[in-house]
Structure 1
Amino acid sequence: MVAGTLYTYPKNWRAFKVLIAAQYSGTQVCMLSAPPHFHFGQTNCVSEFLHKFPTGKFPAFEGHDGFCVFESNTIAYYVSNEVLRGSTPEAAAQVVQWVSFADSNIVPPAST
């Protein structure tokens, strides 16, 4: 089972996608979003963080095994189980389809 640390800032709605996917999948995720372990605008600018996450953006996820990945949809997919990802190629394609649809058609108007 995947487990690791999610780096984000407080109330980041993109991180909520990851946390929801993790909860439904039974994945253990520790969230760092506040001092002393995380300082928005500082932690993401240090070389150690940028080595793991070259864009310096949030959310970012580091697995207990050292695997690092960024972008909320990618992290949500990574921490998900087969039920959420889709157990067949067709079901998986539909999951990606609706995630893409939401990012293109729901998020922009909801963010304005």
Structure 2
Amino acid sequence: MAPIGSLWGDARQRQTKYILSAAAIAGLEVDLQPFEFGVTNKSPEFVNKFPFAKIPTFEGEDGFILLEGASIARYVASLAPESGLLGNSIKDAALVDQWIHFAEHEINTFTDYIWQLVERFVPEKAYSENIHKVIAERQERSLKFLEQNLDLRKFLVTDEITLADIIVAGVIQRAARVTLGAAERALYPNVFAYYERVAGDPRIKDIFGAKDFVEVPVAPKKDE
């Protein structure tokens, strides 16, 4: 099968995992291009084609250009409607989108905020324990909501893996490498049993790779 297009991204990046996983389940091939961060995306050829100069980026065989991981993954899924990745009805598709937005904005946003705060990627490299606490509480609220929704469900929308499950699993993997240590993960048994179902699917297991979960959440160094 000929590739549907070329993808520039890092295979370790959750957004790239979304796209490659969607393609694998859809039975489609995406040509992952060689990429070196800070080099490839600063080359004149790359910037001319992708002015935003970020990854992942996609170019279809017909020249169609697309940015943002979830959008590219959704486009890939739409090319194989029989895969069930977008559900089986208009309502299913709306639920898929709901969970994608929820995962990206109500869980992953807080993972990124906390990581940036602890690593001093904020103005004046300041760290605020109070801000850290508030952000962690907001993520906790979202995880509790997800835990409740998975109480009696194998997957989020249908009885099979959809794009929503791929993206939620990617977001959970990222959180468990940053904000959710062993003690925190124990609070969400449904979420992490679900993660194992999705990330352990033989079609995408190698794409998700090793869990590499942290034992304790990231925190500022004691001398900071």
| Deviation digits for residues 48-71 of structure 1 (CA, Å, limit 9, x no counterpart) | 222322211111111112111110
SS of residue paired to 2:30 = strand
* 1:51 is aligned to 2:48: yes
Residues in 1 aligned to 2:48 and 2:88: alpha-carbon distance in whole angstroms: 34
Structure 2 unpaired stretches of 5+: 112-174, 180-224
Residues in 1 aligned to 2:49 and 2:88: alpha-carbon distance in whole angstroms: 30
* 1:69 is aligned to 2:70: no
Contact 1:2 1:79 in 2 (8 A): no
Partner of 1:20: 21
Contact 2:41 2:47 in 1 (8 A): yes
- TM-score, normalization by structure 1: 0.83
Contact 1:8 1:31 in 2 (8 A): yes
Residues in 2 aligned to 1:86 and 1:100: alpha-carbon distance in whole angstroms: 16
Residues in 2 aligned to 1:61 and 1:86: alpha-carbon distance in whole angstroms: 23
Residues in 2 aligned to 1:95 and 1:58: alpha-carbon distance in whole angstroms: 23
Equivalent position amino acid for 2:48 in 1: H
Select the structure of larger CA radius of gyration.
2
Residues in 2 aligned to 1:42 and 1:59: alpha-carbon distance in whole angstroms: 14
Identity, % of aligned positions = 39
Q: Please identify which structure carries the higher strand content.
A: 1
74-83 vs 5-14, which deviates more? 5-14
- TM-score, normalization by structure 2: 0.44
Q: How many residues are paired up? A: 108
Structure 1 unpaired stretches of 5+: none
Matches within 5 A, 1:67-106: 67-80=64-77, 81-82=80-81, 83-106=84-107
75-84 vs 101-110, which deviates more? 101-110
C-alpha root-mean-square deviation of aligned residues, in Å? 2.0
